C-alpha cells in the first residue's frame, strides 16, 4: 500500500504506517525574480511527490507538502516567508516524533529548496538519534549551489549560465512553464549570471569552496541564472527525469538497512 496519508482515517493510518516509509515534500515561499511566482519550490516539491507516489505504486506514504522552510537568504524581498534555522529544526523534530510514534521506520525529506540542504543533513542525524528513525534527504535535482553542472543537464542548456543557474534560471523556469505556465511572465525574464565568478576554480557556485550568500548579493532582480531560453518542453523532460530518479532512490530506501 501507499498514497497520501491525509486521505486515511485514523485506524487506517495506524495500520498503514507500521514499518512504513514516509515522504515529506519540502518547498518554500520565496522570491524567484520578476518572472516567477513565490510558489516555485512548493509547486515543484508537491508536483514531484504526487507523480512519484503514483509511479511507485506502493510502499510510501506522502505527508502534505511543507510550504514554508528556511529561506532567509531571500529575506530582503517582500513576499518571502521563512522559518529560522531553530524553528525549522523543531518543526522537523516534531514531525519525526509523530512519524516514529506511529510505527514508521523511515522518514524521507524530499527537498525542492536548495537553501534547506545543509540543515536537512544535520536534521537527519538529529532525528536518527532522537527517535530511532532511518532518515534520508532526496532532491528532485542536485542542488546547483552545492554540485557542479546543470540542474538537469539533459541538453547542455545550462552551459550559457556557466554552471551557475542556481535560482530562477533556465531549469526552474522551464519546470514552471511545464507545471504552471499561467504563473510565468517570460516578458520579465532577463539574464542575471555572476560572470565574474566564472574563472574561479573553487570559490563559485558548484566549486569546492562553500560561501555564504544572499540572493541580492548578485543584483536586485533576485534570481541567479538565465531564464530567457526556458521552454515547457525542456521542463517536461526535467520533470520526468526527476520522477524516474526519485522512484529508483525510494525503492532502494525502502529496503535499506544498517544490518549486513
* Per-residue model confidence as pLDDT tens digits over 109-139: 999 999 999 999 999 999 999 999 999 999 9
Q: Residue with C-alpha cell 514516509?
A: 22
- 64: confidence class by pLDDT, cuts 50, 70, 90: very high
Task: Confirm if 235 and 176 have CB atoms less than 8 A apart.
Answer: yes
Q: What is the mean pLDDT of residues 62-66?
A: 98
Q: What is the mean pLDDT of residues 66-94?
A: 97
- 156: confidence class by pLDDT, cuts 50, 70, 90: very low
Secondary structure of residue 188 in the 3-state scheme: helix
Secondary structure of residue 192 in the 3-state scheme: strand
Examine the pLDDT at 169 and tell me if it is beyond 70. yes
Secondary structure of residue 60 in the 3-state scheme: strand
Q: What is the mean pLDDT of residues 173-201?
A: 96
Buried b (16+ CB within 10 A) or exposed e, 187-212: eebebbbbeebeeeeeebbbbeeeee
Q: Can you name the CATH fold of 3-251?
A: Rossmann fold (3.40.50)
**pLDDT of amino acid 59:** 81
**pLDDT of amino acid 174:** 97
Examine the pLDDT at 154 and tell me if it is beyond 90. no
Secondary structure of residue 258 in the 3-state scheme: coil
**pLDDT of amino acid 144:** 64
Q: Are strands 21-26 and 60-62 parallel, antiparallel or unpaired?
A: parallel
- 242: confidence class by pLDDT, cuts 50, 70, 90: very high
Task: Confirm if 25 and 18 have CB atoms less than 8 A apart.
Answer: no
Cell numbers representing residue 209 in the block = 569552496
Neighbours of 220 (CB within 10 A): 10
Cell numbers representing residue 26 in the block = 519540502
List helix spans (H) across the chain: 10-16, 40-56, 85-101, 117-131, 170-179, 232-255
Bridge partners, 23 (sequence order): 62, 108
Task: Confirm if 218 and 170 have CB atoms less than 8 A apart.
Answer: no
Cα–Cα distance for residue pair 157/229, rounded to 1 Å: 9
CA distances, 260 to each of 34, 128, 251, 254 (Å): 52, 19, 18, 15
Examine the pLDDT at 141 and tell me if it is beyond 50. yes
More confident residue, 214 or 259: 214
Q: What is the mean pLDDT of residues 212-216?
A: 95
Q: Residue with C-alpha cell 526556458?
A: 230
**pLDDT of amino acid 212:** 93
Bridge partners, 206 (sequence order): none
- Name the residue ranges covered by the structural domains of the chain: 3-251
* Per-residue model confidence as pLDDT tens digits over 1-57: 789 999 999 999 999 999 999 999 999 999 999 999 999 999 999 999 999 999 997
CA dihedral 195, 197, 198, 199 (to 10 degrees): 130
Secondary structure of residue 57 in the 3-state scheme: coil
Examine the pLDDT at 231 and tell me if it is beyond 50. yes
- 145: confidence class by pLDDT, cuts 50, 70, 90: low
Buried b (16+ CB within 10 A) or exposed e, 145-183: bebeebbbbeeebbeebbbbbbbbbbbbbbbbbbbbeee
Amino acid at each position: 500500500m501507499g498514497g497520501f496519508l491525509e486521505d486515511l482515517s485514523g485506524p487506517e493510518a495506524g495500520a498503514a504506517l507500521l514499518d512504513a516509509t514516509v515522504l515529506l515534500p519540502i518547498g518554500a515561499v520565496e522570491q524567484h525574480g520578476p518572472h516567477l511566482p513565490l510558489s516555485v519550490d512548493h509547486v515543484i516539491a508537491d508536483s514531484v511527490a504526487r507523480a512519484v507516489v503514483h509511479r511507485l505504486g506502493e510502499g510510501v506514504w506522502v505527508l502534505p507538502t511543507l510550504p514554508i522552510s528556511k529561506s532567509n537568504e531571500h529575506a530582503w524581498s517582500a513576499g518571502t516567508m521563512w522559518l529560522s534555522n531553530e524553528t525549522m529544526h523543531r518543526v522537523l523534530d516534531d514531525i519525526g516524533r509523530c512519524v516514529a510514534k506511529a510505527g514508521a521506520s523511515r522518514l524521507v525529506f524530499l527537498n525542492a529548496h536548495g537553501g534547506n540542504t545543509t540543515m536537512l543533513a544535520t536534521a537527519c542525524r538529529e532525528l536518527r538519534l532522537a527517535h530511532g528513525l532511518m532518515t534520508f534527504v532526496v532532491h528532485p535535482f542536485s542542488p546547483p549551489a552545492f554540485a557542479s553542472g546543470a540542474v538537469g543537464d539533459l541538453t547542455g542548456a545550462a552551459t550559457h549560465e556557466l554552471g551557475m543557474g542556481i535560482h530562477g534560471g533556465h531549469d526552474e523556469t522551464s519546470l514552471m512553464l511545464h507545471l504552471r505556465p499561467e504563473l510565468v511572465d517570460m516578458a520579465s525574464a532577463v539574464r542575471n549570471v555572476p560572470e565574474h565568478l566564472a574563472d574561479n576554480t573553487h570559490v563559485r557556485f558548484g566549486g569546492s569552496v562553500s560561501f555564504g550568500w544572499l540572493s541580492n548579493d548578485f543584483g536586485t532582480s533576485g534570481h541567479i541564472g538565465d531564464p530567457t531560453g526556458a521552454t515547457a518542453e525542456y521542463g517536461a523532460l526535467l520533470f520526468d527525469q526527476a520522477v524516474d530518479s526519485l522512484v529508483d532512490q525510494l525503492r532502494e530506501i525502502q529496503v535499506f538497512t544498517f544490518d549486513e
